[in-house]
Amino acid sequence: MEVKQLNFNRHSIQGTIKVPGDKSISHRAIMFGAISSGKTIVRNFLFGADCLSTISCFRKLGVNIIQEDNEIVIYGEGWSGLKEPASVLDVGNSGTTTRLMLGILAGRPFHSVVIGDDSIAKRPMNRVVLPLRQMGAKINGRENGNYTPIAIQGSPLTSITYELPVASAQVKSCLLLAGLQANGETTIIEPAATRDHTEKMIQHFGGEISIRNNQISVQGNQQLTGTVVDVPGDISSAAFFMVAAAIMGNSEVKLENVGLNPTRTGIIDVLIKMGADISIEMNKDASYEPVGTITVRTSILKGIEISGDLIPRLIDELPIIALLATQAEGTTIIKNAEELKVKETNRIDAVARELSQLGANIVPTEDGMIITGKTTLHGGTVSSLGDHRIGMMLGVASLICKEKVILEDYEAVEVSYPNFFEDLQALLK
């Protein structure tokens, strides 16, 4: 375990930054390139550990994927270009790789085994395994297929209509990828809108998809064609700088080329509702995903309630929103966010425990947390607990702590933002 002493000793954050490419879109670009026919070029790919795990898995599945300067080039040979892997497919720490890849493997005529790290081994896979079995997939794993290692014997799939029991883009995407290979029309019904990058990518790679309110349908036996994917900057990474600028004095940060897909912009809604000084400018020439520039300045914030349909639109930002709430006057209540318990860590417990160590007033609840502000944070020893988003949140927290902060397990940030601490340091004044 590596330890970092965070003693930035700076008073403001100022400047312009382009955060790395979006993690969700980078994963999907590799997967769609791999199942399509022809060449796919991925620009602004995120070279984080999770997306590198996706590349490694698809190389083991026989796909020719090369890096040319900062671009990834995939020479896809369609669905049948995927071949039985000679060794296990290791997803590392990546839930997205696990769940989406299972949707692809379920319909391929070969055997494969998926493993991951200790965190992945605790994340529930029944949410995809059960509906995939309904489609005809043959899947085994620990605790009847709920946990990795998971073994799959691919087989012909039949379409289903499936109402998602939880709002999850990973489950939706897994079933759409299986549905693209099935016989007939597969329909997914969402309880609340989740990130729609898979739907957009199906269209971008020349596939057909129908979206009516909360119902998404794909016909089976579709062949896709390789294309160019421009990955926008990751709003989930940008969120750390947005919050740093809002809570530090005399600050202004401009974030360029950030993905502004409405299914991901809940953090912006929260900042506005809390009274933050924020402005957004959309890029006119963005490609198939909306992109723009976000500017955030030092803000006077007030506590709010965050719940309902907003939750899936900011699920990964809740750790940094919790820190934001410690600097808002009054109470912030986060509800309906029980999904936080099954992320890289139990993020309700992790956020409450680590921020309380620094003096925050946070009460964990069954489905969220209650945060009372505004509190002065002191220093102390905290840990990412191996969770990249907890590590980056604590890095931002250290900027407003009165004493020094020791961060254990800081290298977890490599999962989604390998240069996070360097980029943060460069903006501090």
Minimum Å distance from CB 339 to ligand SPQ?
6
Q: How far is CA 404 from the centre of its chain?
A: 30
Count of chain residues binding ligand SPQ (CB under 6 A): 18
Task: At 218, list the tokens.
Answer: 């794909």
Residues sharing a CB contact under 8 Å with residue 244, sequence separation 6 or more, in sequence order: 13, 251, 253, 396, 399, 424, 427
Minimum Å distance from CB 95 to ligand SPQ?
3
Q: Quick one: which of 186, 416, 420, 427 contacts ligand SPQ (CB under 6 A)?
A: 416
Q: Which residue is nearest to ligand SPQ (CB)?
A: 95
Nearest CA among 47, 46, 128, 56 for reference residue 92:
56
CB of 127 closer than 8 Å to CB of 109: no
Rank residues 254 and 343 by Cβ distance to ligand SPQ and give the closer one: 343
Q: What are phi and psi of 64, to 5 degrees?
A: -85, 105
Burial of 177 (C-beta count, 10 Å sphere; 0-12/13-18/19+): buried
Minimum Å distance from CB 79 to ligand SPQ?
21
Minimum Å distance from CB 327 to ligand SPQ?
22
Instruction: Convert residues 7-46 into a mask of x (bound to ligand SPQ by CB under 6 A) and - (unbound).
Output: ----------------xx----------------------
Summarize the chain as % helix, strand, coil (round to 5): 35, 30, 35
**Residue in the block written with tokens 């700088």:** 241
Burial of 81 (C-beta count, 10 Å sphere; 0-12/13-18/19+): middle
CB of 194 closer than 8 Å to CB of 148: no
Rank residues 95 and 207 by Cβ distance to ligand SPQ and give the closer one: 95
Minimum Å distance from CB 199 to ligand SPQ?
11
Rank residues 14 and 263 by Cβ distance to ligand SPQ and give the closer one: 263
Q: Quick one: which of 36, 168, 293, 398 contacts ligand SPQ (CB under 6 A)?
A: 168
Listed ranges 76-84, 89-97, 156-164, 293-301: which one lies at the site for ligand SPQ (CB under 6 A): 89-97
Instruction: Convert residues 316-355 into a mask of x (bound to ligand SPQ by CB under 6 A) and - (unbound).
Output: x----------------------x---xx-----------
Give every strand in the sheet of 71-77, ordered side by side.
Answer: 64-68, 71-77, 37-43, 228-230
Q: How far apart are CA 296 and CA 245, in angstroms?
A: 6
Residue 95 lies near ligand SPQ (rule: CB under 6 A): yes
Minimum Å distance from CB 197 to ligand SPQ?
7
Residue 389 lies near ligand SPQ (rule: CB under 6 A): yes
Active-site positions read: 316
Q: For residue 99, give the amino acid letter.
A: R
Q: How far apart are CA 141 and CA 363, in angstroms?
A: 36
Task: At 219, list the tokens.
Answer: 């016909």
CB of 326 closer than 8 Å to CB of 363: no
Instruction: Convert residues 184-203 into a mask of x (bound to ligand SPQ by CB under 6 A) and - (unbound).
Output: -----------x--------
Site for ligand SPQ in 392-411 (CB under 6 A): none
Site for ligand SPQ in 259-318 (CB under 6 A): 315-316
Q: List interacting residues with ligand SPQ (CB under 6 A).
A: 23-24, 50, 94-96, 168-170, 173, 195, 315-316, 339, 343-344, 389, 416
